[in-house]
Structure 1
Amino acid sequence: MKYTVGVAMNPLDQLAGIAKTAEECGFSSIALPDSLFFMETQAADYPYTPDGSRMWNAETPWVDPLIAAAAMGAVTEKIEFYTQVLKLGSRNPVLLARQVGSVAALTNNRFGFGVGIGWAPEEFEWCGAPYKRRGARVDEMIDVLKLILGGGMVEYHGEFFDFDRLQMSPAPTKPVPFYVGGHTEVALKRAARVGDGWTSAMIKFDDLVGVIARLRELRAEYGRENEPFEIQTVCIDRFGKDGYAELEDAGVTDIITVPWVFDGIGFDAPLEAKQDSMRKFAEQYVN
């Protein structure tokens, strides 16, 4: 079992210290969230809370996860980083390939790319991307990203994106793993078809078991059942040794945790308190 530290909504000046301590404690990864901006009014419900409200406000700190991965990678040597998840729909895949390839190079292949579509129409429209047909557009974006990141001279001629032969150097010396997020049927199909893993938002255990079973069915349909596949999860009702053992038995490979939450410490707490929580968690579960 892998254990990953989630750093959503943390002050930016703590990220380097959290990364160094997580590495010292034996955590395998840092999970980096993505939020472009806070719109005063939202046109759609946030899909992962009961009432559709957001768990953050206009003052909550966010940093671009790709920049954060490069910065945290510069002060560590072994720990890995992945976006959880970057919202593809509002981005341009050619520009994004440049960024992802750069992070992979700067971290010496310690970067995984967790991707989703994005839930907010404003993030699409205000960044110049269409909200309509966003799923089909994101499918094509993944194709473009994998093609460019694979290295060499490539071209692409699709419905949404079109370019003649180009090359971005240096290409990653190892394939960048793609972890696909989302709980809907179409998201699970996307993960099973093109992903190296599936990554969850907050989810209850019984729902998670159903998702994992469905992913197994879909991967078999796509002929990918024997390929390595990560299950990264934020399970909100299984904790401790027994709970984590249940998750492992269910097929989870990577538990995303926020250790200081278990100690009743808020996101704006001092770095030292969070480091103590990571050390305590690691002594109990990681090592």
Structure 2
Amino acid sequence: MRLGVTMFATDRSMPITDLARAAEERGLVSLWVPEHTHIPVSRRTPHPSGQPLPEMYKRTLDPLVALSYAAAVTERLTVGTGIMLLAQRDPIATAKAVATLDLLSGGRFALGVGFGWNAEEMETHHVPYDRRREVVREHVLAMKGLWTEEAAGFAGEHVAFEPSWSWPKPARVPPVYLGGGAGPKMFAHIAEYADGWLPLGGGGLRDALPALREAAERAGRDPATIEVIPFGVDPDRGKLEHLAGLGVGHVVCSVPSGPADAVLPVLDAYASLL
């Protein structure tokens, strides 16, 4: 079992460079950070937990800038977005930023993508909430073309550009993982254009995995090519053994968005499970 970590990296949390070094030194294999460009103060959309919005949501660092620092001070650590709100980003500019980070890190970037939950945040980016899945789909497909084709163009409803040159190309095409709850829509998206799934917490996987496999087969894909990485897990040996028994080989664990004295003991505890 391989373990990674995710943290809300903010201007008040442990510096991302220190966190990345500490994770790699302890044998952890990946570091993931989330994204919110801003949080409108109207707060019309409640947090999915039903609780007041945690302060860290207001203070997130830009994930690609933060992860470039994490990659620069490590040698083996995979750096990933967990998750990027891709519907709210320009796909051409984001494709170039991702390709640059992947090239400079030697192929160590992973793109975790989510559809988003904050309607007013999306509205600022001119993204209709009820069409965000369609927007994400087109953005991913357009970016993949820019990463792999010498002259890539795209003609969609939400993204359209004529055949264009765009370098650098990534060192490898970054894997794309979709984050979100189990369900037919999620599994259809994963089967069509993603490399894997980031299920939050990892609960209920035994019941969900058959439906994911069926969606892959309907799309003409080998289910074994779809990686499942439980995300934001609070691990113990029993839970990790259960997940391993389901065929999971990589789990991403949560660490608090706080200073080093709050984070390092948690990293030590995770390292003890390896």
Aligned AA for 1:285? L
Task: Tell whether 2:267 aligns with 1:278.
Answer: yes
- Counting only pairs closer than 5 Å after superposition, residues 178-189 of structure 1 correspond to structure 2 as 178-183=176-181, 184-189=183-188
Query: What residue in structure 2 maps to residue 219 of structure 1?
Result: 216
Aligned AA for 1:197? G
Query: What residue in structure 1 maps to residue 196 of structure 2?
Result: 197
**Residues 22-59 of structure 1: CA deviation (Å, up to 9, x unaligned):** 11111110011111212223333333x2x2x3541378
Question: Secondary structure in 2 aligned to 1:285?
Answer: coil
- Do the aligned partners of residues 20 and 45 (structure 1) sit closer, same or farther apart at CA in structure 2, a change above 3 Å counting? same
- Do the aligned partners of residues 69 and 271 (structure 1) sit closer, same or farther apart at CA in structure 2, a change above 3 Å counting? same
**Residues 216-271 of structure 1: CA deviation (Å, up to 9, x unaligned):** 111121121254322111365x7321221001112323211135xxxxxx533x31
Does the 8 A contact of 1:31 with 1:84 survive in 2?
A: yes
- Counting only pairs closer than 5 Å after superposition, residues 222-233 of structure 1 correspond to structure 2 as 222-233=219-230
Distance 1:214 1:138 in 2: 22
Distance 1:21 1:201 in 2: 24
Distance 2:56 2:82 in 1: 20
Does the 8 A contact of 2:9 with 2:61 survive in 1?
A: no
Over the matched positions of the two proteins, sequence identity in percent amounts to 25
Q: Report the TM-score when normalising by structure 1.
A: 0.86
Question: Secondary structure in 1 aligned to 2:79?
Answer: strand
**Which runs of 5 or more residues in structure 2 are unaligned?**
none
Aligned AA for 1:191? I
Aligned AA for 2:250? D
Q: Report the TM-score when normalising by structure 2.
A: 0.90
Does the 8 A contact of 2:9 with 2:16 survive in 1?
A: no
CA RMSD, 1 decimal: 2.2
- Give the C-alpha shift of residue 279 in structure 1: 2.8
Over 4 Å off, 4+ runs:
none
**Which runs of 5 or more residues in structure 1 are unaligned?**
260-265
**Residues 57-78 of structure 1: CA deviation (Å, up to 9, x unaligned):** 3785311111111111111111
Query: What residue in structure 2 maps to residue 257 of structure 1?
Result: 253
- Give the C-alpha shift of residue 175 in structure 1: 1.2
Distance 2:232 2:13 in 1: 25
Q: How many equivalent residue pairs?
A: 272
Query: What residue in structure 2 maps to residue 263 of structure 1?
Result: none
Distance 2:268 2:55 in 1: 29
- Do the aligned partners of residues 159 and 63 (structure 1) sit closer, same or farther apart at CA in structure 2, a change above 3 Å counting? same
Aligned AA for 2:196? G
- Deviating more after overlay: 175-184 vs 55-64: 55-64
Query: What residue in structure 2 maps to residue 39 of structure 1?
Result: 40
Does the 8 A contact of 1:66 with 1:100 survive in 2?
A: yes
Question: Secondary structure in 2 aligned to 1:216?
Answer: helix
- Do the aligned partners of residues 113 and 267 (structure 1) sit closer, same or farther apart at CA in structure 2, a change above 3 Å counting? closer
- Give the C-alpha shift of residue 88 in structure 1: 1.4
Aligned AA for 1:275? L
Query: What residue in structure 2 maps to residue 234 of structure 1?
Result: 231
**Residues 171-204 of structure 1: CA deviation (Å, up to 9, x unaligned):** 013111100112143122111221111012245x
Does the 8 A contact of 1:91 with 1:129 survive in 2?
A: no
Distance 1:60 1:224 in 2: 39
- Do the aligned partners of residues 58 and 3 (structure 1) sit closer, same or farther apart at CA in structure 2, a change above 3 Å counting? closer
